[in-house]
Amino acid sequence: MCRKLYILTGPTAAGKTELALRWAQRHGAEIVSCDASLFYRGMDIGTAKPTAEERARVPHHCIDMCAVDERMDVTRYITCARAACEGIIARGRRVLVTGGSGFYLKAFFGPVADDVAVPADLRAELSARFEKGGLEGLVAELRTRNPAGIGALDTANPRRVLRGLERCIVTGKTLAGLAADFAAQPGSFVDWTVVCTRLDREPEELRRRISTRLAAMLAGGLVAEVEQLREVGLAGNPSAAAAIGYRETLVWLNAGRPGGEAALAAEIAQNTWGLVRKQRTWFRTQLPKEKVRVLASGDANVETLFSDEPSR
């Protein structure tokens, strides 16, 4: 069987889940998740994680990979996703990647993580410097190590500054040199043919679907789920705790539930819409246009989803 990856992506609430299930059932596929929030065990309601019944319909991979207090990164995801894809093909089935987490999705189109190994003691030292003195000194050192400039690096973003500086220190290279090395790397799925469809909907329709989905999450026990996860370390994992729905609920709970669930729902809905707007922009600007077919959700079905496949 051809080593082909079918990818279905699109913004939150575009309707990917049910369409992916029906396409997979029709075409003998298994699903590889590309949704960062689905990596964590127990984050079920607020992520609209596929239910046990849905997973019984179609096997899913890269879901429930770690506890909520455990860090997840793209390198670990790529290892899991490649193993899943290889296993699916070995079973004579098709691979359907689905999800809307841009950074992880990009791994199927090209390199996303460099191979620079940063010693733990250096990372700890720089983190301690940041905690004690803020970003100013770190940015100054980064500029010293990059006399030709630091490009578009966001100097207000601690994570980007720290990661950039530690890589410059370890390699002795500039950010531009590191970027050139990175661009020359082959992608993790360079030996696969990639066929991608991006679903989209009109903004007002997306807003309606967000509201309906949020109401179902709250009625289904989102607040209780966050309370339980808080007890086992959710707040200590920045990636998991920042997920839409969980972030707002943590803040709301810690503040004593101000305004009741109506206030919480309004905050989550507003932030979800903000996420959707960012996703739509990211998809348009970051994914290779020649490899991505855009399809209105109303026109998508199991027969049309991957027709007119773009060539790699």
Can you name the residues that pair with 294 across neighbouring β-strands? 198
Q: 82-118 b/e with 16+ CB inside 10 Å = b?
A: eebbeebbeeebbbbbbbbbbebbbbbbebbbeeeee
What does the alpha-carbon distance between residue 171 and residue 119 come to, in Å, rounded to a whole number? 12
- Answer with the residue of higher pLDDT: 299 or 214: 214
Percent of the chain with pLDDT over 90: 79
What does the alpha-carbon distance between residue 138 and residue 42 come to, in Å, rounded to a whole number? 37
All structural domains of the chain, each given as residue ranges with its CATH number in brackets, are 4-112+186-299 (3.40.50.300), 120-183 (1.10.20)
Cβ-contact 99, 33 below 8 angstroms: yes
Per-residue pLDDT reduced to its tens digit, 128-171: 999 899 999 999 999 999 999 999 888 988 888 999 999 999 99
Can you name the residues that pair with 40 across neighbouring β-strands? 66
Per-residue pLDDT reduced to its tens digit, 218-227: 999 999 999 9
Task: Give the Cα-Cα-Cα angle 75, 141, 238 (nearest 5 degrees).
Answer: 40
How many Cβ atoms sit within 10 Å of the Cβ of residue 190? 12
| Predicted local distance difference test score (pLDDT) of residue 237 | 92
Asked if pLDDT for residue 39 goes beyond 60, the answer is yes
311 pLDDT band (50/70/90 cuts)? Answer: very low
The secondary structure of residue 43, as a DSSP letter, is -
What does the alpha-carbon distance between residue 268 and residue 261 come to, in Å, rounded to a whole number? 10
Cβ-in-10-Å burial (0-12, 13-18, 19+) of 260 comes to exposed
The secondary structure of residue 230, as a DSSP letter, is H
Task: Give the Cα-Cα-Cα angle 102, 108, 111 (nearest 5 degrees).
Answer: 90
How far out from the chain centre does Cα 177 lie?
Answer: 27
Asked if pLDDT for residue 105 goes beyond 60, the answer is yes
Q: Could you tell me the pTM of the whole model?
A: 0.83
Q: Helices 260-286 and 203-219, interaxial angle, to 10°?
A: 140
| Whole-number Cα distances in Å, 257 to 149, 217, 234, 243 | 47, 17, 18, 19
* 208 token code pair: 């309606």
CA dihedral 50, 54, 58, 59 (to 10 degrees): 50
Per-residue pLDDT reduced to its tens digit, 123-136: 999 999 998 999 99
| Predicted local distance difference test score (pLDDT) of residue 310 | 43
What does the alpha-carbon distance between residue 114 and residue 185 come to, in Å, rounded to a whole number? 8
Asked if pLDDT for residue 34 goes beyond 70, the answer is yes
Segment among 43-47, 99-103, 206-210 with least mean pLDDT: 99-103
Asked if pLDDT for residue 99 goes beyond 60, the answer is yes
Cβ-contact 146, 186 below 8 angstroms: no
